[in-house]
Structure 1
């Protein structure tokens, strides 16, 4: 029965992906769901994409090992989403762009900022790979298939429904995954685990009061979680692309805040589940095995299938969100840069890689990169180090230039470029010196160097041209209404990759329909 439930779930993902195709009429629909998600869909899909396998299976494992203190990983994610939503989401939504690199180009007026897309693409690609490997391990157990077959099955399904309808398909499947995670974690696994552990008294009796020590995981570890995951949430393309789907700045701000609260509760629930498991199911050596072990131990057949499907849903939602983010960055930022490097004109390269060109080309990028994800996931056994490198470069190299553009008017394009270059070099260099890519020092040194260079170079170079800042300020000054036709109509210069010709830049970023279509709840 558990296997049947998983198979039904996977089939449903394909059906919802096909349903999403009917809503996809143009590239704005494919990449950002037409920028018209209401609070219900926006909150659900945002919560789904940020809560992946690390938050679900990993969070329970940390609770098993460290008690309630195991919640800090997911709490740091919730904190990042909260800060993003309260401080930046409404402004990000108003920009009407598609990628982080396009935001940098809009703010600083420097074409070279498209190089940041290479780092962003590496980060989102590895995020999709790690999620694919994670849910493939569950398929190994359920279906008895070897690792490669499991990767092909899961990765193929994610690639198919993501490519069929783009962000609309991903949004609809994310909502199913959000519901599954809510039922599986809050309404099944949490109460069953708490009851079997004997509640608070039973846990204290077997584990002692140390199980409820908030600092048991270590202050250094908690700080590292917040530096990497909180900051990473503020600037990740996979997260920003969900912000772009909101129908208004208010939805982006308050829908994201609601998702952050949900993530906070999710983190606490995962830690309590793991802590409860430690009380009545001791001796599990691998913390990542706790989720499946406790599910099989305390839940009847059928319910255990739902909980296992919830874990798969958590991983697939992250994988699909990272996949479409990778495809968007590859087409909008990386491909134009590569073509310019090999001698093609800016206009030609940009025109060939404009993300608004057509749905078919966007779909092709998702398919090709989906195949790349499957191949990499099948070949690699452990990509934690690669993902850590991508995360460290993302935060150490790009954080200052991205957030600085929102909060410091004096910042210049030269300051942003030098900040990204120095931050990346120092982060990688520190990894070599320390000899451990998983160490904390690289991201600290990288961030410090990036900030210092950003401030010094910006103060020593001419101010950003007034014409560039005027476009930036005009975009941010757009009203907070649900139908912002003015901003949408003027979005093309930001949405089009750097160097697009005048005719392309004059074209609207999306047809008028997304701006005036009925809001989707």
Structure 2
């Protein structure tokens, strides 16, 4: 057995061990789903960065850089800029809301019906992301160790599912900190410098690639628009990202950690661009550009270090798998089951959370094995997420006149429009997202003005939460806030 294979097996065992350790921290359902809202910056930042930088931000960026040069990094740059924008505009407000999901936020601001509809859409989105990452894990293990694809996908996906199932977000947090360190060491410590050295140094690299590879817009303005609509806007309202924000100990941690994670994503995009151009020089005749990163690793990494770098690349995928499986199961338990099972005690909630997490994980593994390629389905999920949910979410934070009726009809109408556009133009089309968001905005504004003003008690509770200090709790509420909350409770 090779040293590199031993390193990967050891890596899997460490991940499972972290899952077992997470059991001791997950004492209740809030611990299981959002790590007790107790993460300080040094844990919060690497956890958020890890879930952002999955297969698209890593393998996809290298593939595009192999084809277009530095403009291929726009995919991960849009992720980074989107997360930084969310950190500046929304993260502290999100942390103060003390909710567990994006859909729950929509109920607090609007109505229960908005919660249910958005939960279904977001659940599909997060599950599809998990499926794509499992397929990518299988591709890595198949390429480096010769395992068949089914075995490779099940092995990597099952390990991710197991440690997530054991301790929930606490297990995910512990593993993400380790995975982030492996990503840093494997990519920045070994892969990038050795790729540059193997290609003859930076000067030689710059002289060996076409001049267009240094044009930041060579990939085309139409592609940039799509990356903005799908990645920049989509990541700002992804449940997998929001759920990490809800783990922050305070609004300050949420803001600084989120902005830092976004900035790190931009640095990651630069590293992937270098790797893609190095692969273009060293491997000019690849039949499929998507193989660029895997072939580059094999070409430049010596035995022993190869296992380290493969573990780092697996980390980028497994952290996203665990985060998205947990996000999908959270939407089901918190937004589609719990509202109708308010009589559950803490132990019952924990058991149900684990059962649903297991079920979601099994479905994800089966889809990965049976389908094999779900990129089109992922495009559809992103299109629905951005086209249907983005406008009501942002309006909830920044437009006081938005009403529950406006939000619900906005989601329904834009869902119909987006679906029709997907069938007409395709999921990866600017028309689909633009028409979806435009219809969402128009319906939200028109219906809100027709049915307004919003419920004053519910709006008062919402604004009280947004204005809360980082130690917000019921004991610190003003008399007005308590009165507004009492009125809202009576209405419900």
State the TM bucket, normalised to the shorter chain. over 0.9
Specify which of 393, 416, 419 is matched with residue 402 of structure 1.
393
CA offset digits 1:442-468 (Å, max 9, x no partner): 111111111111111111112111110
Cα 1:359–1:176 shift into 2, 3 Å: same
State the distance in 2 between where 1:432 and 1:51 align.
Answer: 30
User: What is the aligned partner in structure 2 of residue 463 from structure 1?
Assistant: 453
User: What is the aligned partner in structure 1 of residue 363 from structure 2?
Assistant: 372
User: What is the aligned partner in structure 1 of residue 101 from structure 2?
Assistant: 99
CA contact (8 A) 1:332 1:354 kept: no
User: What is the aligned partner in structure 2 of residue 454 from structure 1?
Assistant: 444
CA contact (8 A) 2:143 2:294 kept: no
Specify which of 266, 269, 277 is matched with residue 267 of structure 1.
269
Give 1:74 shift.
Answer: 0.4
Give 1:266 shift.
Answer: 0.3
Asked whether 1:475 is paired with 2:465, we answer yes
State the distance in 2 between where 1:439 and 1:180 align.
Answer: 36
CA contact (8 A) 1:416 1:454 kept: yes
User: What is the aligned partner in structure 2 of residue 239 from structure 1?
Assistant: 241
CA contact (8 A) 1:328 1:355 kept: no
CA offset digits 1:265-302 (Å, max 9, x no partner): 00011001111221232111212211111111111111
Give 1:69 shift.
Answer: 0.9
| Structural mapping, 1:13-32, within 5 Å | 13-32=15-34
CA contact (8 A) 2:115 2:335 kept: no
Comparing 166-175 with 110-119, which one deviates more in the overlay? Answer: 110-119
Asked whether 1:484 is paired with 2:475, we answer no
Comparing 161-170 with 374-383, which one deviates more in the overlay? Answer: 374-383
Cα 1:416–1:244 shift into 2, 3 Å: same
Unaligned runs of 5+ in 2: 479-487
CA offset digits 1:344-369 (Å, max 9, x no partner): xx7xx232679995322211111111
Q: TM-score, normalised by structure 1?
A: 0.89
State the distance in 2 between where 1:350 and 1:48 align.
Answer: 33
CA offset digits 1:48-92 (Å, max 9, x no partner): 001001111221111111111111100000011001101000000
Specify which of 407, 423, 430 is matched with residue 421 of structure 2.
430
User: What is the aligned partner in structure 1 of residue 193 from structure 2?
Assistant: 191
State the distance in 1 between where 2:400 and 2:280 align.
Answer: 52
| Structural mapping, 1:16-415, within 5 Å | 16-335=18-337, 349-351=340-342, 358-415=349-406
State the distance in 2 between where 1:394 and 1:442 align.
Answer: 12
CA contact (8 A) 1:96 1:488 kept: no
Cα 1:295–1:204 shift into 2, 3 Å: same
Give 1:335 shift.
Answer: 3.3
Unaligned runs of 5+ in 1: 337-345, 491-499, 506-521
State the distance in 1 between where 2:129 and 2:96 align.
Answer: 27
Indicate the SS of the match to 1:158: helix
CA contact (8 A) 1:475 1:487 kept: no
State the number of aligned residues. 480
Cα 1:112–1:55 shift into 2, 3 Å: closer
Cα 1:474–1:489 shift into 2, 3 Å: closer
Indicate the SS of the match to 1:358: helix
State the distance in 2 between where 1:259 and 1:488 align.
Answer: 31
Cα 1:356–1:271 shift into 2, 3 Å: farther
CA contact (8 A) 2:53 2:265 kept: yes
Give 1:374 shift.
Answer: 1.0
CA offset digits 1:429-482 (Å, max 9, x no partner): 011122x333332111111111111111111112111110111111112113xx
CA offset digits 1:485-512 (Å, max 9, x no partner): 438999xxxxxxxxx999xx9xxxxxxx
CA RMSD of aligned residues (A): 2.0
User: What is the aligned partner in structure 1 of residue 484 from structure 2?
Assistant: none
State the distance in 1 between where 2:455 and 2:289 align.
Answer: 54
Indicate the SS of the match to 2:90: helix
CA contact (8 A) 1:331 1:353 kept: no
CA contact (8 A) 1:396 1:424 kept: yes
Give 1:113 shift.
Answer: 3.2
User: What is the aligned partner in structure 2 of residue 441 from structure 1?
Assistant: 431
